[in-house]
Amino acid sequence: MAFYYDEPSYTFSEYLLVPGYSSSECMPSNVSLKTPLVRFNQGEEAAISMNIPLVSAIMQAVSDDKMAIALAIEGGVSFIFCSQSVEDQAAMVSKVKNYKAGFVTSDSNIKPGQTLADILKIKEETGHSTVAVTDDGTSRGKLLGLVTSRDYRISRLPLSTKVDEFMTPFQSLMCAHEGITLKEANNYIWDHKLNTLPVIDENQNLVSLVFRKDYDTHKENPDELLDSLKRYVVGAGINTKDFEERVPALVEAGADILCIDSSEGFSEWQKLTIDFIRNRYGDNVKVGAGNVVDREGFMFLADAGADFIKVGIGGGSICITREEKGIGRGQATALIEVSKARDEYFEKTGVYIPICSDGGIVYDNHITLALAMGADFVMLGRYFARFDESPTNKFNINGNYVKEYWGEGSNRARNWQRYDLGGKEDLSFEEGVDSFVPYAGKLRNNVQITLSKTKSTMCNCGAITIPELHKKAKLTRVSSTSIVEGGAHDVVLKDNNILPVK
């Protein structure tokens, strides 16, 4: 006979947080949202932590290099989608790692005999206004000059003009030599009022570039998430089919952390994927796994060596897995059970494995509820798909702006790998839909509002850190009538376009 759970499963909207004692220390400005991204031993710190508890979903409609940069600036991590070629995904990872660093490897280079038209083409393709002129047109060639937007005016120069006719030549450049520290380089930039400082070796070969704007950006964004070389931290999705080819390429490209993208993680396929990574790289390559919805699934992936574990099946706004297959679990119930398993595992082994709540987030307050229920961070798809930085198109429909958003299990994405159970390489039916979401503007503005709500609610619970929230949070289930009571009711909402009667 089948096993039956005694209780129904619940989701976030069926819970409320009960306020706890708030000391005078509990102010939003004192709240730290720093959270571990990967497993660590008791008494130690995680090898990778985030400054905010948000990661973007492994989806075509959400996470590309542009999203990864925007989210890293705020302190979170994007997992660049894997339902594309290995080469294209690795190229996206490389773009993020090279976008900002203390010492940037130049990826906009040109030969002196090329033309202004070539400069404009490079600028269009990369968005970079600074182009290094080297003898062979590579990032490690002999530096002959620089071209910036101040070196030419399109209205005054024919597009056929050779680069060496308008570039700033090497003799006029201020350069630093290999071995200079980042602090020394930044001081040199400020002392000499430079925008760009080329770093060269003893043979005048270009080594890297240091930009003034990178220093400014860091000061304006104190939460930005950087690696030891001052590059943005970026994640990448992998699947359980071509991991032997995909993982090495992503590691070579500089991915800081990987995550297995699968609709259901309690399977031998995930263990085989993790085994490959551990056998080849040991613990140097970090990898998350999932998704699971109960204690048994968590324990399986924990023992397999996952660095974090995702929780949630069927709760995404574009996911129809529950509808099509009748499988899944209410997100809150699943998260609560897995969190208890995580604490049990920590008590037994001294190893803490972060939990990622994936799916079921409708309102901003659901993020705080997920954290209170034991999640260390949440993965969001629809939330990030609404922003300028997502890779999808924006449309005006009946006067309202929307952005495209589709599931990885839809016919549009055709990401059969994440649903593969050892069958043919195709989708036999859809587990996701193709849709629109309301356009919401810039990521930064929205994320800051969302996190302001989270910090305020944490203070109401008497907590100023996420681990403290795990311990102090008090939750109550609510009735359907209580849910109605929680919104505006028994009033006529104002229409600001209605004028008062005189």
- DSSP track, 307-326: SEEEE-SS-STTB-HHHHH-
> Distance (Å, rounded) from C-alpha 89 to C-alpha 239?
13
**H or E segment to which residue 109 belongs:** strand 109-110
| C-beta atoms surrounding 209 within 10 Å | 22
* Integer CA distances (angstroms), 212 to 127, 230, 490, in order: 17, 14, 56
CA 450 to chain centre: 16
132 and 146 in contact (C-beta within 8 Å)? yes
> Distance (Å, rounded) from C-alpha 459 to C-alpha 463?
5
Q: Which of 313, 496, 388 is nearest to 67 (CA)?
A: 388
| C-beta atoms surrounding 453 within 10 Å | 15
The radius of gyration of the chain from alpha carbons, rounded to an integer in Å, stands at 25
| 418 noted as active-site residue | yes
Residue of 259, 342, 418, 461 marked active site = 418
* Integer CA distances (angstroms), 127 to 122, 154, 172, 416, in order: 8, 17, 25, 34
Sign of the CA dihedral with 135 first, then 139, 142, and 144 last? positive
> Distance (Å, rounded) from C-alpha 94 to C-alpha 90?
6
Phi, psi torsion values for 88, nearest 5 degrees: -70, -40
pLDDT at 498: 66
| C-beta atoms surrounding 219 within 10 Å | 8
**What tens-digit pLDDT sequence spans the chain (502 residues)?**
898 998 999 999 999 999 999 999 999 999 999 999 999 999 999 999 999 999 999 999 999 999 999 999 999 999 999 999 999 999 999 999 988 667 888 889 999 999 999 999 998 888 888 999 999 999 999 999 999 999 999 888 999 999 999 999 999 999 999 999 888 999 999 999 999 999 999 999 999 999 988 887 777 888 999 999 889 999 999 999 999 999 999 999 999 999 999 888 999 999 999 999 999 999 999 999 989 999 999 999 999 999 999 999 988 877 777 777 778 899 999 999 999 999 999 999 999 999 999 999 999 999 999 999 999 999 999 999 999 999 998 999 999 999 998 877 777 666 656 555 555 565 556 667 778 899 999 999 999 999 999 999 999 999 999 999 999 999 999 988 787 778 777 788 877 666 666 6
Q: Which of 336, 333, 334, 285 is nearest to 306 (CA)?
A: 285
| Residues contacting residue 331 through CB under 8 Å, at least 6 positions apart | 11, 12, 311, 312, 315, 357, 359, 360, 370
Residue of 319, 356, 459, 461 marked active site = 319
* Backbone conformation region of residue 258, classed left if phi is above 0, alpha if psi is from -120 to 50, else beta: beta
pLDDT at 472: 97
DSSP classification of residue 171: G
pLDDT at 424: 56
Tokens, residue 237 = 């999705």
pLDDT at 420: 58
264 and 296 in contact (C-beta within 8 Å)? no
Residue type, 135: D
Q: Which of 335, 279, 327, 277 is nearest to 307 (CA)?
A: 277
Question: What global pTM score does this model have?
Answer: 0.82
210 and 230 in contact (C-beta within 8 Å)? no
pLDDT at 272: 97
* Integer CA distances (angstroms), 345 to 38, 200, 339, in order: 15, 51, 10
Phi, psi torsion values for 354, nearest 5 degrees: -60, 150
10 and 333 in contact (C-beta within 8 Å)? yes
